[in-house]
Amino acid sequence: MTFKDAAAAIAAAGRRMDAMGWVPATAGNISVLLGADRMAITRSGRHKGMLAPADVMLVDGQGASLEPGARPSYETLLHCGIYRRFPGTGAVVHGHSVANTVLSRRAGAEIRLAGFELLKAFPGGPTHDTEVAVPVLDNDQDIPRLQAVLDALWNRTSDAPPGYIIRGHGVYVWGADMAAAMTRLEALEFMLLCHLEEGRHTR
């Protein structure tokens, strides 16, 4: 994929996420892997529903800008951590929906989703008759420290989660390409919203 193609895919994902209410104000970030040591990612402070090609930039595999003076998303290192940990990942999306924000503020170390038809959208979920645990991590403005917590979490399990949520902040989801990442995000957000509604009506 060329940088131009990656920027177009990122902008399209941003518009979709904005239309769904998942990236208010300048929230969220989106990236596409372009090679072993290069990725395209949204610049810091850009509204994801109004991205132009100039709002996407290049960074290396350690998250350092390849454009002098340009500043990538503050959470670029979390994207790097996903690409490093899950080979075959081609795109990462991060959003701030009402459902993932509210549920993560109430949750413990995970949110469990069971019996939903859309669990089939996740790898290893051939039917609805399964259960998935979505990890919830405490928010931390020290991104390298937060990435270290994630690395420790991944080292304790051989199962790859469908994504993870930073408490009161937002969700990270990934896939082989942007279409796969967005499919996973939409499925997860639907189930989280159902989970939120179920909680509201069972009180």
pLDDT value of position 159 = 74
Q: What is the pTM of this model?
A: 0.93
169 marked as part of a ligand binding site = no
| Whether residue 203 has pLDDT greater than 60 | no
Q: What is the DSSP letter of 123?
A: T
Distances (CA, A) of 157 to 37, 133, 185, 192: 26, 12, 22, 23
96 marked as part of a ligand binding site = yes
| Whether residue 184 has pLDDT greater than 80 | yes
Handedness of CA 13, 175, 81, 3 (dihedral sign): negative
In this predicted model, what pLDDT tens digit does every residue of 111-156 receive, in sequence order? 999 888 888 888 766 656 678 899 999 999 999 999 999 999 998 8
In this predicted model, what pLDDT tens digit does every residue of 80-110 receive, in sequence order? 999 999 999 999 999 999 999 999 999 999 9
Class of domain 3-201: alpha beta
Q: Is residue 1 very low, low, confident or very high in pLDDT (cuts 50, 70, 90)? A: confident
Q: Is 63 left (phi over 0), alpha (psi -120 to 50) or beta?
A: left
